[in-house]
Amino acid sequence: MSGITLRVAHLYPRLMNIYGDRGNIMALRHRCEARGIGFDLTDLGPGDRLDAAAHDLIFAGGAQDREQRGVVDDLLATKADAVREAVERDVVLLAVCGAYQLFGRSYREASGAELPGAGIFDLYTAHPGEGAKRCIGNIVCEWQSSAAGMQTIVGFENHGGRTHLGEGVRTLARVRSGHGNNGRDGTEGAIYRNAFGTYVHGSLLPKNPAFADHLIATALRRRHADIELRPIDDRAEQRAHAAALKLRP
């Protein structure tokens, strides 16, 4: 696939990177380069502005409440409008855990303090309060792939906030075991256009190669409509996925 490059923006790589979320970037790079697809990565930290037209895929990982408070003002001042513009252009967005919460309408912390969100996803997140049990453990959920039918997504979740979806988004997956968005309604994550939010760490993409390829193909087809990803040797990733399916929640 000579001449084709996946252009990726990684938001707050030093501040929003918990449970190995950077591994998602490594998985995207590996799966592109194994196919001869170029990989261009731009790290954007505090003060850096995002060019909505310069990227095919935007990624932001998770963090604790302290880090989320540390980036929210910068997110709203320098990046949120551009992320919103990019999403409306069908650029792929993957937001994990803390970023998933911050890209909703609002996040209420355990203390009761409320952080405004970027409003990419029609959802809100609220922590039940100090002393409430966290949603923590291994998670398996079912995801409908347009290319391969029903698939599973595996990983690890650890979040105190409970996320509730509005009418402007649809759920990413249905929880088979674990907590998902709020531990009550069986939903996990959210989708709006080509923007995906999820609580699944692990890292997510190395253990879920079908989902990783879905993101890559979706991102590239904006500029290369007929692209088809050829298979690669990902037996190690498939074994990791199969092993995770057997883990207890």
Question: How distant, in Å, are the alpha carbons of 19, 51, 83, 86, 216 from that of 48?
Answer: 24, 10, 13, 16, 24
What is the predicted pLDDT for the residue at 221? 96
Among 122, 114, 145, CA closest to 209 = 145
Per-residue pLDDT tens, the chain, 249 aa: give them: 668 999 999 999 999 988 889 999 999 999 999 999 999 999 999 999 999 999 999 999 998 888 888 899 999 999 999 999 999 999 999 999 999 999 999 999 999 999 999 999 999 999 999 889 999 999 999 999 888 899 999 999 999 999 999 999 999 999 999 999 999 999 999 999 999 999 999 789 999 999 999 999 999 999 999 999 999 999 999 999 999 999 987
Indicate the SS3 state at residue 84. Answer: helix
Report field, pTM of the whole predicted structure over 0.75: yes
Residue 164 among the catalytic residues? no
Half-sphere exposure of 92 (CA within 13 A, CB side): 22
Report the C-alpha gap between 199 and 165 in whole angstroms. Answer: 13
Among 153, 147, 151, CA closest to 216 = 147
| Annotated active-site residue in 97, 179, 214, 241 | 97
| Annotated active-site residue in 179, 201, 214, 241 | 201
- Contacts (Cβ under 8 Å, ≥6 apart) of 30: none
Report the C-alpha gap between 156 and 161 in whole angstroms. Answer: 15
Report the C-alpha gap between 58 and 175 in whole angstroms. Answer: 25
- Contacts (Cβ under 8 Å, ≥6 apart) of 76: 116, 118
What is the predicted pLDDT for the residue at 18? 86
What is the predicted pLDDT for the residue at 19? 84
What is the predicted pLDDT for the residue at 2? 67
DSSP state of 247: S
